[in-house]
Amino acid sequence: MHASPAEAIPAALAALPAAPLCVGYSGGLDSSVLLHALAASPAARERGLRAWHVHHGLHPDADAWAAHCAQVCAGYGLELTVSRVSVARDGGDGPEAAARAARHAAFAAGLGAGEALALAHHRDDQAETLLLRLLRGSGPDGLAAMREWRDCGRGRLWRPLLALPRAALEAYAREHALRWIDDPGNDEERYDRNFLRHRALPLLRERWPQASAALAQSARLQEEAAGLLDSEDAAALAQVRSLDPQALSRSGLRALAPARRARVLRRWIAALALPPLPAQGVARIERELLPARADAQAQFAWNGALVRAWRDVLYAQHLRPPLPHNWRAGWDGRAPLTLPGGGRWRLDGAAGFDSPLIAHARAGGERIALPGRAHRHSLKHALQALGVPPWERERLPLLADADGEVWAAGDLLYSARMDAWLRERGARLEWVA
């Protein structure tokens, strides 16, 4: 015997997370059902239940929708957070994707530590998502579609209704006489998801009535497969990683099977919080960077990020300009020194230098008197011996006295005088690029 909507919705919410709880509330039917059911739960209220409305500003009635949400939440006695976001209209991925990206950016920035944000996605949404991912040529990770749980900022997203059809939510809304907003944008078939919802899926269900359930089941199976692959990817990534999280061994990567190597590269980029590699990214790395000569400095750039090959290492980082060649600044060490491009220098453990030093960019040809050495050495050769990549050398600030004698190169090399000065005081120089 199937549970009625009045039973199915609360049953799906029975296993509440032991965390502060928030509901993503657009004012539409789905989120109205989720908010009503959680507001009726004493256990949810004990977790500090609140609602969150994202105001995209894309529709003339957006202010009225936010007012409706505020009125409903006031009736439930719940706090409502309204976040106004700016949606990029020329990003190239379409308004649906842009609005979703802006919404999730707001969630990631605003979720409290350990807070769970409940979203009202259901089985039909999952079927649509799987079809969209199939049409984009996604692999197992993408075909897992929406997960019940995933990390988001300092909290997590929770989708407790994924196993339920939208019909169950519609029946619940009628049974409880809920009021909700109908966004006319949901009927515009020029948007991919709406086309699938109004045209493609109804046609599929004419022939296969259980199409949505079958597609959602496929997504669950893909999630299981992706989980198995993920654990093996983590082990493979650990094998090729160095002490520097931004660096991987090229020879180690070449030893992996191509399919595994592609997954490891994508996992590595994600772990560094860099933009996802574009479709041709892995192919470019395979073709141009992995086989490059040790001194070739081959690179691949995308969306403000960059992967470089040097020696046996693959480096990934955000694009950062070198220090301006004519940059100079006096520094007494009493307060951190901000560097061009956002880096900084800080002196810990000492009130300041005995006399101000000069911070400046490398000009080439500098020499440094290293600790325990009788003669000065080429700074370039000393940095090469440390394995500092060429692009890091371009951003490396130098610290010199009034006579031009180099005391420090970032916090990577100290002169004998600087080393002795720091040791005498138990101090430390810290450089953040």
Q: What is the pLDDT of residues 101-113, one digit of tens each?
A: 899 999 999 999 9
Please state the φ and ψ torsions of residue 329, each to the nearest 5 degrees: -155, 135
Q: Would you say residue 208 has pLDDT above 60?
A: yes
What DSSP string describes 160-212? TTTTS-HHHHHHHHHHTT------GGGG-TTSHHHHIIIIIHHHHHHH-TTHH
* Strand 50-55 to 79-84 pairing: parallel
Q: Are 88 and 102 in contact (CB under 8 A)?
A: yes
Q: How confident is the model at residue 393 (pLDDT cuts 50, 70, 90)?
A: confident
d(CA 368, CA 137): 55
Closest CA to 80 of 27, 153, 44: 27
Query: Using an 8 Å Cβ cutoff, are 339 and 324 in contact?
Result: no
pLDDT at 92 over 60: no
The Cα–Cα gap between 1 and 373 comes to: 85
Instruction: Report the percentage of the chain scoring pLDDT > 70.
Output: 97
Strand partners, 55: 84
pLDDT of 3? 65
Instruction: Kindly tell me if the per-residue pLDDT of 41 is higher than 60.
Output: yes
Q: Is the pLDDT of residue 366 over 80?
A: yes
- Tell me how far apart the alpha carbons of residues 345 and 357 are, in angstroms, rounded to a whole number: 12
pLDDT band at 124, cuts 50/70/90? very high
**Those residues with Cβ within 8 angstroms of residue 363's Cβ, 6 or more apart along the chain or in another chain:** 325
pLDDT in tens, 239-271: 999 888 999 999 999 999 999 999 999 999 999
Q: How far apart are CA 386 and CA 384, in angstroms?
A: 5
Beta strands in 103-148 (DSSP E): 116-118
Task: Give the C-alpha distances (Å, rounded to integers) separating 363 from 7, 328, 390, 407, 418.
Answer: 73, 11, 14, 15, 21
CATH architecture of 5-221: 3-Layer(aba) Sandwich (3.40)
**pLDDT band at residue 1 using 50, 70 and 90 as cut-offs:** very low
- Tens of pLDDT, residue by residue over 304-362, are 999 999 999 999 999 888 889 899 999 999 999 999 888 899 999 999 999 999 999 99
The pLDDT-based confidence of 2 (bands split at 50, 70, 90) is low
Position 185 pLDDT exceeds 80: yes
Predicted local distance difference test score (pLDDT) of residue 387: 86
Answer yes or no: is pLDDT of 375 > 90.
no
Would the pLDDT of 62 be above 80?
yes
Question: Parallel, antiparallel, or unpaired: how do β-strands 50-55 and 21-24 relate?
Answer: parallel
Two tokens, residue 231: 């654990």
Residue 191 has pLDDT above 90, yes or no: no
Asked if pLDDT for residue 93 goes beyond 90, the answer is no
Q: Residue 294: what pLDDT?
A: 85
Q: Where are the domains of the chain?
A: 5-221, 241-318, 328-432
Per-residue confidence (pLDDT) for residue 394, from 0 to 100: 84
**Whole-number Å distance between alpha carbons of 396 and 378:** 15
Residue 129 has pLDDT above 80, yes or no: yes
Quick one: average pLDDT of 400-405? 92
Q: Which residue has the higher pLDDT, 7 or 130?
A: 130
Beta bridge partners, 158, equal 118, 149
Confidence class of residue 4 from pLDDT cuts 50, 70 and 90? confident
In CATH, the architecture of 241-318 is Up-down Bundle (1.20)
